[in-house]
Chains A and B, each alone.
Chain A
Amino acid sequence: MTEAKLDREANTIIREGVVSIINPYDIHAVEEGLRIRERKGGSVTALSMGIPCVVEMLKQVIAMGADNAVLLTDKAFAGADSLATAYTLSKAVEKLKEFDIIVCGKQTTDGDTAQVGPGLAEKLGVPHITNVVEIMELEDDYAECRRAVDKGWEIARVKLPAVITVEKDINTPRFPSIRGIRNMLKPNIAIWNADDINAEHDRIGMKGSPTQVVKTFIPQSKAAAETIMGTPVEQAKKMISIFDELHIKVRER
């Protein structure tokens, strides 16, 4: 192992109160990166694309123990869909040169597309495994992973280098220690723009994104809700009348 790199999808955006948090899946990705380093040595690089304040989140990742971090930030990156994001990240990974494993969170909790990890793997020409819940075996040239599939589990062996995307079940992330906080205060974070990574300008940001949002709307709400207060028994009686309306028959036990 020489190097394990990490990727995070763009930061989560919360509109009211504007508290940006690290995408929860990505914290598990960082943790797994650190554990890989503990198992096999090497170094952990955190990579993210986002607005300048994402640096604050990368500092947290440094506090957890990542060796260094890279933030890709450029107005030209704005409005990237998953294809443009995968392309941009792939250019940064190329600049970082060698890697053994790229660990991504399975998905973001807002965009929820889960497309960046596989898209990045294809751009880099390496295989990928999604929904990983355990790295069972880790050798120099392959990894054996248990992954969650629709109705159960699967154990897959993948040749390295590779991209894996992880579920939250894979680990319990650590807290930074005091030393982590010291590292956080003098973080080793590189800030790169589009030219730094030699990105083609028509393949990044909105321009490099084949998908466009043409309309947003509030989902149709259902019939106006009826609020039922009262004692449990009153409420139970009301519930039974709802069952009757729906012609639901209760069964013998």
Chain B
Amino acid sequence: MSERIINNISKDYDEYLKDESRKTGKADSISFPVTEKEIADTMKFFWKENIKVTIQGARTGITAGAVPRGGHILNLERMNRITGLRYDNGSDSFFLCVQPGVLLTNIRKAVSARNFNTSGWSGESLEALEKMKASACCFFPPDATETTASIGGMVACNASGARSFHYGSTRNYIEGLSIVLSDGSGINMKRNMFRAKGDLFSLTTNNGRVIQGRIPGYHMPEVKNASGYYAEKNMDLIDLFIGSEGTLGIITEIELRLLKKPAYNWGCIFFFKREEHAVKFVRVLRDDSFLPTPLAVIRPVAIEFFNSDALELLRLQKKEGKGFSDIPDIKKEFNTAIYVEFDEDSEKDIVNSVFEAAGRAEYCGGNEEDSWVAATSQLMEYLKSFRHAVPEALNLLIDKRRKDKPGITKLGTDMAVPDEKLEEIIDMYKADLAVKGFESVMFGHIGNNHIHVNILPRDMEEYRKGKELYEKWAYKVLEAGGTVSAEHGIGKLKCDFLKIMYKEDGIGEMRAVRKAFDPRNILNQGNLAE
């Protein structure tokens, strides 16, 4: 067992001390298990030694959740196999069994090509695969922007993406989990198998250990949310693990629910000359009761926002010739862009959706000619490169600044508010940014009232002031009934915000749940709470 643990990790394993948050931690040892048994054995050893363990997937998180704080790193990147497929007659659905280290991009590729490495698959899985090949194409809906994220990491922080507006977060597509607890014991759970009774829960591990506790009593905000444990009376206990950021146990296998792929997937960008027109458009896209006359029903799967600074940044990067060559010129008079995406099964429905959206854009002060429409998968790829260009351009800019002032990082928010507070919160962001004179870029998932505000500090003073502003915003967002983290998770960087959100009491209740599963408190130290 101990030969699998690499004890001398000086310098050789530097990269494993950090993740996309660009924070660096420290560790004494690392292992790369390839089976569940190896994980269990490793955990038994560290449990006995009472040594902290940090779990890692693909290290694409940006809240430092995978950055170790001493002790051992349990890296799951080599558990990267798709292990089976199940077909359920009743629901006419396919379920894919994967190890936690499989990357999202590889799941997508394999599912869309219906082409899997089937070595070691059971007869039942192979049969399901034959069935799948004869059926309509499937897909796995969660669409984290970073497609090299590992599926284990996506479950651990309940990842979401643009299309979560319609499809919801990763949670909705998790049908089963195998978990190894910090003492090496295991739990296998399926959805609807274990439920809390009121706010009490009880689970028995494979070796007979009984875990009991109380579901936290805090009220989760009614917005897209990735802050703290999922908590609800009579909840399905599988949901406790999803989004728990590796603080309760180690995910060793996941069963994913796949959906039938809609026949048509179109996207359009509508440009507006005034931001308030764009925001109004978002409102009438979501809710036609704002319209004077009843109109066709539409179901956008994603609604995204790019403010004037975001568009200006793209124009600038294009002019400097640093790539972005796939992006057509953005007319000067365009101030704000709203991206809308539709999935439909018939051409008639998708065409109607797009026209209806165009009509609503005009109603809000837009012009249907100020639009880019992608009506093929080929054009959707180009449109995607537009959407990804903003964060890429931001990173380029910050990297340039970091050369002179290495202490600076991008300051990005991840907060969401309820629908009715959208305008109010945007106005607040804008007013505060104007007062401070910060350089900033706003974009993101406006459909969920979830806008990433990025402050681009020019010096350390601005960096410090920017952080202060964030804390102020956290209070305001919570007052408005929102969340401090809608999709990135809490990790190690946003624990203070979580404390503001759920107060000492809520954090205490979370700590109690954590203790029930991990009494020695050795897993993922520093995540969710100090």
Contact = CB atoms under 8 A, between A and B. Distances in A.
A153 interface: no
A51 to B, nearest CB: 17
B219 interface: no
B354 A181 contact: yes
Interface residues of B, number: 34
Interface in B317-336: 325-329
A234 B373 CA distance: 48
B328 A178 contact: no
Interface stretch (B302-310, B374-382, B444-452, B479-487): B374-382
Contacts of A169: 325
B374 A231 contact: no
Contact of B328 (A60, A175, A180, A185): A175
A127 interface: no
B12 interface: yes
A178 B15 contact: no
A125 B376 CA distance: 37
Contact of A172 (B327, B371, B374): B327
A232 B376 contact: no
Interface string B357-390: 0100000000011111111111100110000000
Given A60-B376, A178-B355, A17 B369 contact: no
B354 A178 contact: yes
B290 interface: no
Given A63-B373, A175-B373, A177-B369, A17 B113 contact: yes
A232 B15 contact: yes
The 4 A-B residue pairs whose C-beta atoms are closest, nearest first, are A175-B372, A178-B368, A233-B12, A178-B358
Interface in A196-253: 229, 231-234
A112 interface: no
Nearest to B368: A178
17 contacts: A17-B112, A21-B378, A60-B375, A60-B376, A169-B325, A173-B328, A174-B328, A175-B379, A176-B379, A177-B368, A177-B369, A177-B371, A178-B371, A179-B368, A181-B354, A181-B355, A229-B78
Contacts of A149: none
A137 interface: no
B368 A16 contact: no
A63 B375 contact: yes
Nearest to B266: A181
A60 B112 CA distance: 24
B258 interface: no
B13 interface: yes
Nearest to B357: A178
A17 B269 CA distance: 28
A231 B13 contact: yes
B262 to A, nearest CB: 15
Nearest to A229: B78
A16 B327 contact: no
Contacts of B368: 177-179
Interface residues of A, number: 26
B351 interface: yes
A233 B370 CA distance: 52
Contacts of B115: 16
A83 interface: no
B325 A181 contact: no
Contacts of B379: 60, 175-176
B517 to A, nearest CB: 31
A136 B124 CA distance: 64
Contacts of B11: 233
Which of A17, A169, A174, A175 neighbours the largest number of chain B CB atoms within 10 Å of its CB?
Answer: A175
Contact of B375 (A21, A179, A184): A184
Contacts of B351: 181, 185
A22 B375 contact: no
Interface of A: 16-17, 19, 21-22, 60, 63, 169, 172-182, 184-185, 229, 231-234
B378 A180 contact: no
B152 to A, nearest CB: 19
Interface in B3-28: 11-15
A29 to B, nearest CB: 15
A232 B17 CA distance: 13
Contacts of A179: 368-369
Given A175-B269, A175-B371, A233-B11, 20 more contacts: A17-B112, A19-B377, A22-B378, A60-B375, A169-B325, A172-B326, A175-B328, A175-B372, A175-B379, A176-B379, A178-B354, A178-B358, A178-B369, A178-B371, A179-B368, A179-B369, A181-B351, A181-B375, A229-B78, A234-B12
Interface in B239-277: 268-269
A224 to B, nearest CB: 18
A178 B351 CA distance: 10
Nearest to A21: B378
Which of A21, A178, A185, A231 neighbours the largest number of chain B CB atoms within 10 Å of its CB?
Answer: A178
Nearest to A57: B376
Contacts of B112: 17
Contacts of B326: 172
Nearest to B324: A172
Nearest to B78: A229
A120 B470 CA distance: 63
A182 B368 CA distance: 11
A32 to B, nearest CB: 14
B113 A177 contact: no
A180 B12 CA distance: 56
A172 B373 contact: no
Nearest to A172: B328
A232 B12 CA distance: 7
Contacts of A178: 268, 354-355, 358, 368-369, 371, 373
B372 A231 contact: no
Which of B15, B112, B371, B383 neighbours the largest number of chain A CB atoms within 10 Å of its CB?
Answer: B371
A19 B378 CA distance: 9
Contacts of A181: 351, 354-355, 373, 375
B16 to A, nearest CB: 8
A32 B67 CA distance: 50
A234 B12 CA distance: 8
Nearest to A233: B12
Nearest to A60: B376
Nearest to B377: A19
Which of A177, A182, A184 neighbours the largest number of chain B CB atoms within 10 Å of its CB?
Answer: A177
A22 B376 CA distance: 10
Contacts of B383: 175
A15 to B, nearest CB: 11
Contacts of B327: 172
Nearest to A31: B328
